[in-house]
Amino acid sequence: MSRPLFAHIDTAALQHNLSVARSHAGQGRIMAVVKANGYGHGLARVAHALWATDGFAVASLDEAVQLRELGWQKPILLLEGIFSADEITACINHQLTVAIHHFEQIHMLQAARLASPLSVFLKLNSGMNRLGFKPQDYLNALTQLQAIPACGDITLMSHFATADDDYGIADQLQVMQRCFSQLSYPVSIANSAALFRYPAHHGDWARPGIALYGASPFAEMTAQALGLRPVMTLHSQIIGIQMLNTGDALGYGRAWIADRPSRIGVVACGYADGYPRHAPTGTPILVNGQLTRTLGRISMDMLFVDLTELPTAQVGSTVILWGKGLPVEAVAQAAGTISYELLCARAQRVPERDIA
């Protein structure tokens, strides 16, 4: 008999969230970001649910090929581009679009004998300082791409570092506008946070990621307030109950000491399943639809919940770790991390179940 731990994946919620993102993009197209196995939701499942989108963005050639094998015929963007010249032929064969963010990639294209045009997104480092050409090098990079006979469609690209916080996008946007304003190419700059907070700057291709999976990109605003629905709900059950007296210790390291007679539930979920080990006492959790808290340290396969105020909870009672009724960002905030990490870190041993 399997453990009572599984992830419900609500594909209808994916479709709903795509519609919400599209409403913010206006006339712009949506490049749905499905890297990291669809943010931990399953690449094939996510792709089929988001089939109405205009394009997909992934991090690896393997992910792109998998999408083509599923029958997807619209654009696929490799967000990190090519890593070696050997990948160029595969990109041509599968009609992929590649991000170009350093001169070595341009040199690979210059040396290649391209049998067909290769579309590119030319990335500007507008201040995030992760990938992309510095503003002073951007026009040179574009000129070199334009001189490559088999270079296909070109899109101008950048990425906001602080669209989700109070610092905002003004500084980076100024750099982008200075570099892009005299160039007559499509533009792609908006991630989820920029798309929802600054919809006037969605560009020709918006690239929503986390919002599609029903999590808010903002610390101070819930997904529900943005009109989004959670896609992944992580379910488990109470598998044991312990009665503690005042002064009794709980779990590894005696990390929690009962300050009153307490009723403790043991849940079949731990850090080997992707639940954050660093989640402290007080992290929110639902038992039979009622909000309570975790206690003590997270173990590899189990964690503790406080049932003292939940007298009807018993062995077999339903537990929701995050998802429907408990936003994943609330759990992430309590654990000092972000929803992206929790969704992507769910372990392979946790089975998935689709719901309509």
Q: Are 270 and 298 in contact (CB under 8 A)?
A: yes
Instruction: Give the homologous superfamily in CATH for domain 232-355.
Output: Lyase, Ornithine Decarboxylase; Chain A, domain 1 (2.40.37.10)
Domain ranges in the chain are 11-220, 232-355
Q: Are 212 and 50 in contact (CB under 8 A)?
A: yes
Residue of 35, 123, 138, 198 marked catalytic: 35
> pLDDT by residue (tens digit) across 264-273?
999 999 999 9
Average per-residue pLDDT for the chain: 96
Sheet containing 76-78, strands listed edge to edge, beginning at the edge strand earlier in sequence? 187-188, 151-157, 118-123, 97-100, 76-78, 55-58, 29-33, 205-206
Query: What burial letters (b/e) apply to 2-19, b meaning 16+ CB within 10 Å?
Result: eebbebbbbbebbbbbbe
Q: Is the dihedral of CA 79, 82, 87, 92 positive or negative?
A: positive
Beta bridge partners of 10: 355
Second CATH level (architecture) for the domain 11-220: Alpha-Beta Barrel (3.20)
Give every CB contact of residue 236 below 8 A, 6+ residues apart in sequence. 3, 4, 5, 6, 267, 268, 269, 319, 321
List the Cα angle 356/353/54 in 5-degree steps: 55
Q: Which of 74, 134, 167, 252 is catalytic?
A: 252
Question: Contacts from 305-313 at CB under 8 Å and sequence distance 24+?
Answer: 305/238, 305/264, 305/265, 305/267, 306/262, 306/263, 306/264, 306/265, 307/238, 307/241, 307/263, 307/264, 307/265, 308/260, 308/261, 308/262, 308/263, 310/263, 311/263, 312/288, 313/238, 313/265, 313/287, 313/288
pLDDT one digit per residue (tens) for the chain, 356 residues: 689 999 999 999 999 999 999 999 999 999 999 999 999 999 999 999 999 999 999 999 999 999 999 999 999 999 999 999 999 999 999 999 999 999 999 999 999 988 899 999 999 999 999 999 999 999 999 999 999 988 999 999 999 999 999 999 999 999 999 999 999 999 999 999 999 999 999 999 999 999 999 999 998 899 999 999 999 999 999 999 999 999 999 999 999 999 999 999 999 999 999 999 999 999 999 999 999 999 999 999 999 999 999 999 999 999 999 999 999 999 999 999 999 999 999 999 999 987 65
The yes-or-no answer on residue 198 being catalytic is no
Instruction: Please choose, from the candidates 165, 163, 156, 97, the residue with its C-alpha nearest in 3D space to the C-alpha of residue 132.
Output: 156
**Residue 123: active-site member:** no
